[in-house]
Structure 1
Amino acid sequence: MKILKIYMQNTTMKKLFFISLIAVAFLSCKNETKSTEATGSQVSAEGPERTAKQSDGLTLLKGDFVYYDGAAVLQTHANIYGVFVTDKMHELEKLVQEYKTAPTDMIPVEIRGKITDQKDDKILWEHKVEIVEILNVYEPKKEDNDVVKLSE
């Protein structure tokens, strides 16, 4: 009988221990979520912490630019954008001429622009961009020149 009492006490203690352990773990997770929200460590894209450049609706794009035969294209690591032919696009074309060795060379650039997916009669690419600001034009790296020329 004495052994049964000790066993019952131990199983009751084990149950209480596991229940309290689960309760502490659950409450700790709940407090962690509250503390993250209370400190405000998550910055919203629409919050007041945004700078003026982040609030102007423009997107920063880095990629390879080419303008040939009346059509302009910007190829980023994720997408290919048809570029609207505007004064800024012509300004960018003048800047990239310095680095071109052939008319179809793609030159690395960094721009800010307005992205749209609206239908256009001239630009048939799904994604389109209007260049608003030219940030940088980079000299192409020799090892990135992977164009195969079939004839001279």
Structure 2
Amino acid sequence: MKNILFTLLIIVSFTSCKNDSKTEVNLDDNRAKSYDANDGYITVRGEFVYYADAAVLQTSNEIYGVVIDDNMHLLDNEVQPYKKDPTDMVPVTVRVKKFAKPEGEEGWEYRVKIKEILKVEKPNPNKEDVIKLSN
């Protein structure tokens, strides 16, 4: 009798654990699809700024010119609440298509076209890598 009760207890505990893990996977299902999709787009995390008709995405390794289109303007609208100055850069995570700039044009070596905005974060107020000039 004890063995049957013990076996039933083990089966119930394993079954309940299995259901919990499925719930966790479903919570981030859309985000996982964005990161894992094999459609030619890459996920990039960096700092974004749009100022004076120029949009830039700076990662830890490279700087990209951003194609100015509807998705870029959507991203600019989402970062506006986090900016104190028009030239402030805001951390973002986006899915982009990376391509070389056209021959003979000025600018960074690569450009990116934004497909999807995954995350916009509040800038770190303690970051001290910006030099501001004043009179």
TM-score with structure 1 setting the length: 0.62
| Structure number with larger C-alpha Rg | 1
Are 1:92 and 2:69 an aligned pair?
no
- Taking CA–CA contacts closer than 8 Å with sequence separation of 6 or more, which of the two structures ends up with the larger relative contact order? 2
Matched residues in 1 for 2:86 and 2:46: separation?
17
SS of the equivalent of 1:151 reads: coil
- Alignment gaps of 5+ in structure 2: 1-33
Moved over 2 A (4+): 51-54, 120-123
Does residue 73 (structure 1) correspond to residue 77 (structure 2)? The answer is: no
Instruction: Give the CA deviation at 1:102.
Output: 0.2
Q: 1:123 to 1:60 in 2, by over 3 A?
A: farther
Flag structure 1 segments of 5+ consecutive residues without an equivalent. Answer: 1-50
Per-residue deviation, residues 18-77 of structure 1 (Å, max 9, x unmatched): xxxxxxxxxxxxxxxxxxxxxxxxxxxxxxxxx994311100000000000000000001
- Identical aligned residues as a percent: 46
Separation of aligned partners in 2, 1:122 and 1:56: 28
**Are the structure 2 counterparts of residues 52 and 136 from structure 1 closer, same or farther at C-alpha, using a change threshold of 3 Å?**
closer
Q: How many residues align?
A: 103
Aligned match of 2:90: 107
Greater strand share, structure number: 2
Residue pair 2:101, 2:108 contacting (<8 A) in 1 also: no
